[in-house]
């Protein structure tokens, strides 16, 4: 470890030390309310993200654990920005609903640190460390609202499921180590694909990989490991749920991408299983969302389905699937955060926004926030001119280009189903009972930080839908560096 | 002048953004009217210039810039003799729609006009795109404004109709998206150049099986929009519950985008596959002509009746496209323009009656001629135009279509003529029930106002003008259609039809 290494590590240090710093500020200064601490956390996260973009690495690998390549930097910046946005939402939210003081922003930064670690580790051990520091922070952030039993329930559920998935992951790790004798990602992955110089993978190694996928599948709520999502989404505080739904899933997918990136062809052994998982995830998520009346449950099922689309791209990797998957994750992060940001700004002292029927007429009473929510939903449905459309286009292109025609047809059919439930929310916003604005439900006034974040996100969603070119070429260049 | 295309396509959408900050309904109405009229003026200027041959050739104007390099997508717009009349029609109907809604829309005025302008950008884009990806983008951009126009400003079961409209169209277009990606990949693998330019994609040689499947995807997307017979069920609902401006745009323009897509995309890209599907297309067109006429006859709601008449009329257009010779194609495009004018006018007039009587039930009317002679005269005039009275616009279009059809399939032509008789029945009976017979009670039913006359007179003038001088449109169509017929030959497969 040299000084140059430290220079490379600035984003990570900003996140982890910023988290400690926030705890100290909270402990010594009682004056600033939770909103100020959340803003401070957002600023630190923003700084970490910007530094990840700006600092050129001076060495490729650090301590056989971390790499500081473009791929890792990209995801470090992405998860820092997502933490920043979530904390902006949490700032206003914390004035209306008790989600604790300094611990919330501090944990968000720790979680972002874990996510960065996930995306930039070169060893399975590093992945495990990242996964754990992310998950532990998220458990607490879900249960942050101590006065709301649903929040506690969500935290507990996520904890139990998370513990199981960790167990699977750790055991899988052990089996892979037993089989291949290495924890280095690149080496163990090339054993899986029967790559050059690697011995043919044994049954034990395969079982280890299967368990690894189970563990990661839990985190990304892939079918059949998705059952926790609706309850956790419904109960948790909206800013936390938005953060979990985007940043944690995106960084776990970054790990998936590292697996696929290391090999020259789709993983012959596992791709059949993943094929079935992707199809069922899309079908189940979209169909279950049809009957939901609670907007957070609806978004939970929708996010399950969205992960199915990402998995389609992963299966189609490495030809073009990787960059499609990364673009999808970026677009998904923007639109999902936008939706949850609107929900969190609609959540008042009496409770969170629940039933979508509460939104009757809100489109005209609260035009800006409703517009942001509608843009997010239209994008989630994959309609132009939004990022969601370009993202879906990329997914279907990659799938068809790699010959997965049936998977694309499944995707299209389920996308048609999804249009209906996304539109339902828009219908309630603008078309049901809209005649009487005074009868619309009363929501809290918008706070400035969420307003800024929502504006930034909805502009991003539309901008990426019209001018995706630059981001697409950036992603194409980093996708080759996945490991 | 090529920059004019970008201007035409995006002027309404950009102006819509400025309306976001305006609260005063009066200002919004005037501003929108100004923008749409300005657009119309530009289109008329282009039309005039091109008609006098100052700009000529296969493509009149085109622009082409790389847009999304990663997928080889271009920002490419192109205007030729086929798109120019349709673009001008679009500009005209939008300007009239603003006038029509002047009194009808009194709440959420800004949302209404914003959606109207976005819709105009979407439709203009569809008629102007030269890149398949861009075409699809505009194709879907049309959906959301229309969804809002029906769902927020409609009446009756507006939400049901809006959602039905949306789900039907998106289903068709998502299948089209798969086909678009399919063509793109096949073309890219074949030539090594991955792009979406329509002119390049036309030379794709996929296997008959594969191109058949891809063609079917496009057919799905376009047939829902036209709409062709079994996929038409969304149309009557959407028409009935839409506000007048929505119905005018839906019937006058949105349906045309489907037919335009068949002419511009589906047939040129897959001539062989199209030939294989001709028996299917002929069959559903002919069924559509008779079935829709039959159902129209049974309608009690005027708007529904005209909606079904659109299904029947558009089936002729499809027949003309499917036959694919220069006469029938010219007839189809001319008929697209004519149907836009005539049906648009009929919907506008039904809207005016509805404003006065608050019902569109046919049985509530009768003997209207005594009460409002000017209005009745206009109504009868547009009905006569719609049923193809010689000397009026629809006659020219239908005559050309049927002439073209006769050259290829005499029996189909006979069926088409028989269909025109059924059109006669339901339209004349509509006129008879509303305009003549014993007079009903009309309270405060005024004849046409100055604003309403300003809307109807241009349309009536066009009906006569195109009727006696169809070359006004046909002259422009000649070069591009000749080129299309020559580059893509659709040899009909024998056996099924004579």
pLDDT single digits (tens) B154-170: 888 888 999 999 999 99
Q: pLDDT-derived band of residue A264, with 50, 70 and 90 as boundaries?
A: very low
Chain B (103-122) residues lying within 8 Å, Cβ to Cβ, of chain A = 107-108
Q: Would you call A469 and B68 a contact, using CB atoms and an 8 Å cutoff? A: yes
Widest Cα–Cα separation across chain B: 72
Q: Would you call A431 and B152 a contact, using CB atoms and an 8 Å cutoff? A: yes
pLDDT average, residue stretch A221-245? 91
pLDDT single digits (tens) B314-341: 999 999 999 888 889 999 999 999 999 9
Query: What pLDDT does A268 receive?
Result: 63
User: For a pLDDT cut of 90, what percent of chain B falls above it?
Assistant: 44
Say which residue, B60 or B47, is predicted with more confidence. Answer: B47
**Is A356 part of the contact surface with chain B (CB cutoff 8 Å)?**
no
Does A31 score more than 90 pLDDT?
A: no
Query: What pLDDT does A124 receive?
Result: 85
Q: pLDDT-derived band of residue A157, with 50, 70 and 90 as boundaries?
A: very high
Closest in B68, B162, B163 to A468, CB measured: B68
Does A194 score more than 60 pLDDT?
A: no
- Which residues on chain B are in Cβ contact (under 8 Å) with A415? 174
**Is B140 part of the contact surface with chain A (CB cutoff 8 Å)?**
yes
Does B495 score more than 80 pLDDT?
A: no
Instruction: Please tell me the pTM assigned to this model.
Output: 0.92
**Is A473 part of the contact surface with chain B (CB cutoff 8 Å)?**
yes
A contact test, residue of B125, B167, B181 with most A CBs within 10 A: B181
Query: What pLDDT does A265 receive?
Result: 44
Q: Closest Cα of chain A to B412: distance in Å?
A: 36
pLDDT average, residue stretch B86-102? 91
**Is B213 part of the contact surface with chain A (CB cutoff 8 Å)?**
no
Q: pLDDT-derived band of residue A434, with 50, 70 and 90 as boundaries?
A: low
Q: pLDDT-derived band of residue A483, with 50, 70 and 90 as boundaries?
A: very low
pLDDT single digits (tens) B280-296: 999 999 999 999 999 99
> Chain A to chain B, count of Cβ pairs less than 8 Å apart?
82
pLDDT single digits (tens) B353-374: 888 888 888 888 888 888 888 9
Q: Would you call B178 and A409 a contact, using CB atoms and an 8 Å cutoff? A: yes
pLDDT single digits (tens) B142-151: 999 999 999 8
**Is B141 part of the contact surface with chain A (CB cutoff 8 Å)?**
yes
Q: Would you call A431 and B178 a contact, using CB atoms and an 8 Å cutoff? A: no
Does A65 score more than 60 pLDDT?
A: yes
ipTM of the complex: 0.90
**Is B159 part of the contact surface with chain A (CB cutoff 8 Å)?**
yes
Query: What pLDDT does A123 receive?
Result: 86
pLDDT average, residue stretch B253-261? 93
B contact test, residue of A367, A431, A479, A480 with most B CBs within 10 A: A431
pLDDT average, residue stretch B193-215? 84
Q: Closest Cα of chain B to A334: distance in Å?
A: 20
Query: What pLDDT does B496 receive?
Result: 37
Query: What pLDDT does A266 receive?
Result: 45
- Which residues on chain A are in Cβ contact (under 8 Å) with B184? 397
**Is A21 part of the contact surface with chain B (CB cutoff 8 Å)?**
no
Closest in B148, B151, B174 to A415, CB measured: B174
Q: Would you call A384 and B140 a contact, using CB atoms and an 8 Å cutoff? A: yes
Nearest-Cα residue of chain A relative to residue B152 = A431
**Is B70 part of the contact surface with chain A (CB cutoff 8 Å)?**
yes
Q: Would you call B144 and A419 a contact, using CB atoms and an 8 Å cutoff? A: no
Q: Would you call B141 and A473 a contact, using CB atoms and an 8 Å cutoff? A: no
Does B350 score more than 60 pLDDT?
A: yes
Q: Would you call B137 and A401 a contact, using CB atoms and an 8 Å cutoff? A: no
Does B487 score more than 90 pLDDT?
A: no
Host H or E run for residue A61 = strand A61-62
Say which residue, B496 or B229, is predicted with more confidence. Answer: B229
């Amino acid at each position: 470890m040299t000084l140059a290494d430290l220079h490379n590590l600035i984003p990570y240090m900003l996140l982890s030390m910023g988290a400690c710093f926030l705890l100290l500020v909270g402990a010594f200064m009682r004056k600033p309310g939770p909103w100020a601490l959340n803003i401070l956390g957002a600023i630190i996260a923003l700084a970490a993200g910007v530094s990840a973009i700006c600092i050129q690495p001076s060495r490729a690998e650090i301590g056989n654990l971390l790499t500081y390549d473009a791929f890792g930097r990209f995801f470090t910046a992405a998860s820092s920005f997502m933490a920043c946005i979530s904390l902006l939402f949490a700032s206003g939210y914390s004035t209306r609903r008790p989600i604790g003081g300094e611990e919330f922003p501090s944990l968000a930064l720790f979680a972002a640190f874990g996510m960065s670690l996930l995306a930039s580790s070169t060893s399975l051990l590093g992945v495990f460390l990242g996964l754990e520091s992310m998950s532990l922070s998220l458990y607490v952030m879900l249960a942050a609202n101590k006065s709301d039993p649903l929040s506690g329930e969500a935290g507990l559920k996520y904890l139990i499921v998370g513990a199981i998935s960790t167990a699977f992951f750790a055991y899988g790790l052990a089996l892979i180590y037993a089989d291949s004798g290495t924890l280095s990602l690149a080496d163990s992955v090339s054993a899986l694909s029967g790559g050059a110089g690697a011995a043919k993978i044994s049954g034990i190694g395969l079982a280890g990989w299967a368990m690894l996928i189970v563990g990661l599948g839990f985190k990304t709520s892939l079918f059949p490991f998705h059952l926790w999502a609706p309850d956790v989404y419904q109960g948790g505080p909206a800013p936390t749920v938005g953060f979990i739904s985007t940043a944690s899933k995106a960084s776990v997918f970054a790990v998936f991408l590292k697996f696929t990136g290391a090999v020259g062809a789709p993983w012959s052994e596992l791709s059949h299983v993943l094929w079935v998982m992707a199809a069922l995830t899309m079908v189940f998520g979209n169909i279950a969302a049809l009957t939901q009346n609670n907007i957070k449950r609806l978004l939970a099922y929708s996010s399950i389905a969205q992960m199915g689309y990402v998995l389609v791209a992963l299966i189609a990797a490495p030809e073009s699937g990787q960059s499609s998957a990364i673009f999808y994750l970026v677009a998904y992060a923007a639109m999902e955060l936008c939706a949850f940001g609107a929900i969190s700004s609609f959540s008042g002292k009496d409770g969170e926004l629940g039933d979508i029927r509460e939104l009757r007429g809100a489109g005209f009473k609260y035009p800006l926030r409703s517009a942001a929510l509608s843009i997010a939903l239209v994008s989630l449905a994959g309609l132009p001119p939004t990022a969601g459309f370009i993202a879906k286009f990329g997914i279907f292109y990659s799938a068809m280009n790699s010959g997965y025609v049936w998977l694309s047809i499944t995707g299209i059919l389920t996308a048609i189903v999804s249009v209906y439930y996304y539109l339902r929310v828009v219908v309630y916003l603008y078309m049901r009972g809209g005649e009487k604005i005074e009868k619309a439900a009363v929501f809290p006034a918008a706070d400035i930080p969420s307003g800024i974040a929502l504006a930034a996100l909805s502009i991003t969603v539309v901008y990426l839908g019209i001018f995706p070119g630059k981001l697409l070429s950036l992603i194409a260049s980093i996708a080759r560096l996945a490991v | 002048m090529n920059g004019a295309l970008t201007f035409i396509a995006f002027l309404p959408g950009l102006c819509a953004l400025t309306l976001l900050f305006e609260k005063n309904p009066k200002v919004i109405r005037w501003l929108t009217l100004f923008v749409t009229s300005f657009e119309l003026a530009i289109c008329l200027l282009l039309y005039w210039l091109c008609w006098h041959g100052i700009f000529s050739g296969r493509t009149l104007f085109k622009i082409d810039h790389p847009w999304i390099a990663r997928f080889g997508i271009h920002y490419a717009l192109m205007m030729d003799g086929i798109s120019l009349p349709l673009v001008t029609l679009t500009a005209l109907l939008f300007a009239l729609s603003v006038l029509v809604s002047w009194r009808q829309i009194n709440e959420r005025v800004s949302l209404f006009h914003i959606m109207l302008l976005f819709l105009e950008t979407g439709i203009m884009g569809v008629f102007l795109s030269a890149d398949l990806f861009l075409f699809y983008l505009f194709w879907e951009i049309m959906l959301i404004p229309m969804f809002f126009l029906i769902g927020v400003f409609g009446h009756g079961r507006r939400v049901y109709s809006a959602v039905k409209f949306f789900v039907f169209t998106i289903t068709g277009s998502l299948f089209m998206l798969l086909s678009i990606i399919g063509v793109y990949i096949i073309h890219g693998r074949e030539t090594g150049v991955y792009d979406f330019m329509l002119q390049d994609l036309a030379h794709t040689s996929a296997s008959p099986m594969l191109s058949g499947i891809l063609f079917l995807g496009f057919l799905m997307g376009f047939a829902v929009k036209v709409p062709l017979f079994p996929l038409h069920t969304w149309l009557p609902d959407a028409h009935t519950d839409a506000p007048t401006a929505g119905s005018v745009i839906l019937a006058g323009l949105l349906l045309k985008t489907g037919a335009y897509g068949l002419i511009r995309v589906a047939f040129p890209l897959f001539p062989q596959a199209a030939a294989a599907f001709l028996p299917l297309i002929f069959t559903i067109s002919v069924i559509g002509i008779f079935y829709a006429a039959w159902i129209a006859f049974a309608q009690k709601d005027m708007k529904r009746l005209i909606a079904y008449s659109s299904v029947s009329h558009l089936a002729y257009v499809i027949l003309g496209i499917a036959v694919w010779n220069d006469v029938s194609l010219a007839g189809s495009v001319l008929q697209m323009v004519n149907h836009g004018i005539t049906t648009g006018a009929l919907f506008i007039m039904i809207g005016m009656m509805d404003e006065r009587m608050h019902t569109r039930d046919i049985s509530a009317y009768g003997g209207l001629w005594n009460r409002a002679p000017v209005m009745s005269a206009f109504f009868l005039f547009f009905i006569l135009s719609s049923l193809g009275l010689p000397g009026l616009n629809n006659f020219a279009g239908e005559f050309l279509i049927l002439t073209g059809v006769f050259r290829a399939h005499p029996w189909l032509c006979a069926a088409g003529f028989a269909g025109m008789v059924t059109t006669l029945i339901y339209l004349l009976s509509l006129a008879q029930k509303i305009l003549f017979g014993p007079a009903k009670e009309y309270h405060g039913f005024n004849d046409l106002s100055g604003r309403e006359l300003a809307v109807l007179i241009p349309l009536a003038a066009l009906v006569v003008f195109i009727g006696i001088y169809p070359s006004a449109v046909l002259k422009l169509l000649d070069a591009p259609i000749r080129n299309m017929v020559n580059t893509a030959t659709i040899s009909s497969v024998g056996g099924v039809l004579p």
